[in-house]
């Protein structure tokens, strides 16, 4: 059974950098796509980005691309998220999630089959 | 297009059928998955691939896609189905993941 657990500070100051870690058990961090997703209070889910270590593939939400960095630590089986220049708009519950799926006949099918419990981050001056 | 559009809120009487829809041009190319999120909980996959349910998801949940519209149907809605529902796919380029704005389902 795959388990994901997010960790990081619950409170950060505006203009600073948020660093979150997702610890994974039950699956190799190098074999799957790993995503960060957030949900601001009163709003819907927002995709932040993904990383696929085996192919060196990293994609970010264009709206956040200038402030986001994702990385993998294979020795610890962890995925990390750094989000710079924080504002109050970055206050949200942050989730890491695992993508599963396949490609057939030139079409790829993917879905989020495992999620962490989420970690609430409050950005305040 | 890089958007998926959902109705913000839908209600259904207990035991009745409700359809939650998701519209977007990218759905003509990429498949959709659906997630249920109850208050204080992480999202949970309820429908994926062409019309598959993960283990543990009741068969009252079904999915379909026609053109640029995907639908999640709950046949015989139960009180525990009250939650936010999100569709998920890719943008038209295929490079980025996108979510619909979410539909709040109320079971009356």
How does the average pLDDT of chain A come out, rounded? 95
pLDDT of residue B93: 87
Supply A38's token pair: 């957030």
- SS3 (DSSP) at A93: strand
- For A28-45, write each residue's pLDDT tens digit: 999 999 999 999 999 999
Report phi then psi at A9, rounded to 5: -70, 145
Partner-chain contact B99 A44, CB within 8 Å: yes
What is the pLDDT, as a whole number, of residue A28? 94
Write out chain A residues lying below 8 Å of B33, CB-based.
110-112
Q: How confident is the model at residue A115 (pLDDT cuts 50, 70, 90)?
A: very high
Average pLDDT over residues B1-11: 90
DSSP readout, chain B? ----B--SEEEE-TTSEEEEEEE-GGGGTS--EEEEE-TTS--EEEEBTTTB--TT--TTEEEEEETTEEEEEEES--GGG-EEEEEEEE-TTSSSEEE---EEEEE-
Q: Among all residues of chain B, which has the CA nearest to that of A62? A: B96
In Å, how far is A125's CA from the nearest CA of chain B? 25
Is the Cβ pair A35, B97 closer than 8 Å?
yes
Q: pLDDT by residue (tens digit) across B65-88?
A: 999 999 999 999 999 999 999 999
- Other Cβ atoms less than 10 A from the Cβ of A6: the count is 23
- CA closest to A44 among chain B residues: B101
Contacts of A55 in chain B (CB under 8 A): none
**Residues of chain B contacting residue A107, judged by C-beta atoms under 8 Å apart:** 31
> Of the candidates B31, B54, B99, which has its C-beta nearest A47's C-beta?
B99
Say if the Cβ atoms of A95 and B35 lie within 8 Å. Answer: no
């Amino acid at each position: 059974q795959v388990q994901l657990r997010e960790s990081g500070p619950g409170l950060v100051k505006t203009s600073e950098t948020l660093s979150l870690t997702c610890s994974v058990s039950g699956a190799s961090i190098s074999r799957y796509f790993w995503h960060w997703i957030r949900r601001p209070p009163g709003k819907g889910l927002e995709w932040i980005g993904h990383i696929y270590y085996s192919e060196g593939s990293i994609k970010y939400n264009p709206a956040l691309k200038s402030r986001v960095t994702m990385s993998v630590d294979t020795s610890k089986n962890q995925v990390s998220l750094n989000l710079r220049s924080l504002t109050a708009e970055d206050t949200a519950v942050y989730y890491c999630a695992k993508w599963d799926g396949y490609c057939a006949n030139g079409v790829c099918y993917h879905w989020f089959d495992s999620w962490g419990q989420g970690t609430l981050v409050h950005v305040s001056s | 297009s890089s958007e998926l559009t959902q109705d913000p809120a839908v209600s259904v009487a207990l035991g009745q059928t409700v359809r939650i829809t998701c519209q977007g041009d990218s759905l003509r190319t990429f498949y959709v998955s659906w997630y249920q999120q109850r208050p204080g909980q992480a999202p949970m996959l309820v429908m994926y691939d062409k019309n598959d349910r993960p283990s543990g998801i009741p068969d009252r949940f079904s999915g379909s896609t026609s053109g640029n519209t995907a639908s999640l149907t709950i046949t015989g809605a139960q009180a525990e189905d009250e939650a936010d529902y999100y569709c998920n796919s890719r943008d038209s380029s295929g490079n980025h993941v996108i979510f619909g704005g979410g539909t709040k389902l109320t079971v009356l």
